[in-house]
Amino acid sequence: MKAQLRTRVTTGIGIFYLSSILFFLYAPILVMAAMSFNASEFYQLPFQFSTQWYERMWENEAILSAAWRSIWIAIVTTVFATALGTAASVALWRYDFPGKRILQVLLFPPIAIPWLITGTAMLIFFFGVGIGRGTPAVILGHVALALPYVIVVVTARLATFDRTLEEAARSLGARPWMVTRRVMLPWIAPGVIAGALFAFAVSFDQFVISYFLSEPGDSTLPVLIYTAIRKGFTPEINAISTIIIAVSMVVMLTAARFTKFGGEK
């Protein structure tokens, strides 16, 4: 009885603690969402409901075009990073060759070096070779950043792949391409989808690299938001931010459900 009570009390404390953390994590986001519906331009309380910031945002050409640019850059990044990353993971997983360890270690710089350093280095190099600033430079940078994430996620999924399945397929007469298409790809699909989502998130969320590489009139949404904040807050930023957060959460939740369904068994 006593032990049971103690377990209950500790579990209670644990859940209370966890709730406080969740409050800390979500409170500012909720405040931001609330403020996007507040009439006051200077976030004055008491709260007065209004949708005017959404309407204004909808007419703000700069915000809308930056948002679209961010989305399509993220899509292009996702396609490239997922394709190249999946191919590389399969090769790293399947083949043994001298220098493999080095290749694996080389995946870490984009993750482990502060983006400030990578970003400024890209700026210098792209200027030097004539690529310059602008959307192509941004995509080059985003794909490079997203690649290691895709490789890590897909490799993790590959690690759960039973190599004897491949051997079984070959013993049944399947050529390498058939083995890949019919046996391995179906198995790693959830990992590839998760990797693609990571790539999208990395690109869409990416500020530092975009900041150094995008052209002033041609910025992505995070860069635009940064500039707006430094020039003085405008509640339209709240509106677009709320939309971004809502959309990314919905996407992530569906993705979480979807990837769960894909496998495990």
Partner 1 sequence: MSEVRVNNIVKTYKTARALDDVTLTFPDGGFFGLLGPSGSGKTTLLRTIAGFVEPDTGSVTIGDRPVVNVPVEAREIGMVFQNYALFPNMTVADNVDFGLRVRGVTGNDAKRRVAEALELVQLGPLGKRYPHELSGGQRQRVAMARAIAPRPRVLLLDEPLSALDKSLRVDMQIELKRIQREVGITTIFVTHDQEEALTLSDRIGILKGGRLVREGRPQEVYADPGDTFTARFLGEANVFDGKPEGSLLELLGGARVTRPEKATRIAVRPEHMTVSTVEPEGPNVLRAELRQRIFAGAMGTCVLEWQGQPVKAIARQEEFDGLPEKGAVWLSWSDRHARALTVD
Partner 2 sequence: MSGGINIARTDKLRAFALLSPAYLWLTLAVFLPLSAMAFFSFLTEVPFGDAEWSVTLTNYSAFFESSTFSRLLLKSVMLGVKVTALCVLIGFPCAWVLAKMIKGRAREALFLMVILPFWSNSLVRIFSWAIVLRGNGVLDKFVNAIWPWDVKVNLLFSEWAIVIGLVHSYLPYVILTSYLALQAIDDSLIEAARSLGAKWWTILWRIVLPLSAPGLLAGAVLVFVPVVGSFMEPRILGGRMGTYYGTLIEDQFVAVFNWPLGAALSFILLAVVLIILAVASPILKRAQT
21 binds partner 2 (CB under 8 A): yes
Query: Residue 32: is it exposed, middle or buried by C-beta count within 10 angstroms (0-12/13-18/19+)?
Result: middle
Contact positions toward partner 1, by CB under 8 A? Answer: 162, 164-165, 167-176, 178, 182-183, 186-187, 265
* Residue 165 interface partner, choices partner 1, partner 2, none, CB cut-off 5-8 Å depending on type: partner 1
Q: Provide, rounded to whole angstroms, the least separation between the CB of residue 13 and partner 2.
A: 9
- Piece of 48-56, 59-67, 142-150, 159-167 that binds partner 2 (CB under 8 A): 142-150
Interface residue with partner 2, options 25, 171, 231, 232 (CB under 8 A):
25
Least distance between partner 2 and beta carbon 55 (Å): 20
Kindly identify the residues of this chain, within the stretch 40-69, that bind partner 2 according to CB under 8 A.
Answer: 43-45
Contact 108, 161 (CB under 8 A): no
Pair of tokens at residue 12? 């209670």
Contact call for residue 237 and partner 2 (CB under 8 A): yes
Least distance in Å: CB of 185 to partner 2?
Answer: 13
Q: How far apart are alpha carbons 183 and 242 in whole angstroms?
A: 42
**Residue 182's binding partner out of partner 2, partner 1, none, with CB under 5 to 8 Å set by partner kind:** partner 1
Binding to partner 2 (CB under 8 A) within 152-191 occurs at 176
Choose between 56 and 94: whose C-beta lies nearer to partner 2. Answer: 94
Q: Whole-number minimum distance, CB 165 to partner 1, in Å?
A: 5
- The C-alpha atoms of residue 39 and residue 27 are separated, in whole angstroms, by 20
